[in-house]
A and B are shown apart, each in its own frame.
Chain A
Amino acid sequence: GAGVSQSPSNKVTEKGKDVELRCDPISGHTALYWYRQSLGQGLEFLIYFQGNSAPDKSGLPSDRFSAERTGGSVSTLTIQRTQQEDSAVYLCASSHLVTSSTGELFFGEGSRLTVL
């Protein structure tokens, strides 16, 4: 597709269950990002993938969170043993390799996670 695609758009789960969120980036973009948006908290960086390089996982809040990117394209964010504080909108973004004239991120519409 033309834009970043995320699924599911909405997910309701029970506390303690695992969830998987999927992101399909813009074709040709080498970089992929996950952010978390909580009410009134802005956007919190979670993880960054660039090509075949080791990802920057410095923003993952706990070891319950993990992400992978297969074949340099689609990414899955997994949250294990979900807690109520994990409720948020999870935004995926992609970009070209950053140069002196590029560097903007293109965002998907997000996956809204509600943990009951």
Chain B
Amino acid sequence: AQSVTQPDIHITVSEGASLELRCNYSYGATPYLFWYVQSPGQGLQLLLKYFSGDTLVQGIKGFEAEFKRSQSSFNLRKPSVHWSDAAEYFCAVAYFGAGSYQLTFGKGTKLSVIP
């Protein structure tokens, strides 16, 4: 069965510092991978996605992620964090079943930003 692991439950960084959020997935086929962000009391917003092609994908708000098949990873990065980036971040892998499609999410990483 497919699964996603986000090893860091909570990360704190200083504003202006670089950021890397880790994501490892388990899936038997070529994965579709996603990063979503959730601000308090809000729904999830897509940051970026990987379906195929270039393994370094660019997203909104200055985020990027790199797909590494050999490591089953899809880590999210940002060179300089802004206070408004404080939120919870979810990595997800798509699952294709018989007549079904769904995203399986990790448990999330909460990001705090120190001024």
Contact = CB atoms under 8 A, between A and B. Distances in A.
A59 B1 CA distance: 13
Contacts, number: 62
Determine the interface band of chain B, counting residues with CB < 8 A from chain A: 20 to 34
A48 to B, nearest CB: 5
Contact of A50 (B49, B52, B101, B103): B101
A103 B108 contact: no
B43 A109 contact: yes
Interface residues of A, number: 29
Interface string B100-114: 111111111000000
Interface string A89-116: 0010100001011011111111000000
Interface of A: 4, 31, 33, 35, 40-43, 45, 48, 50, 53-54, 56, 58-59, 91, 93, 98, 100-101, 103-110
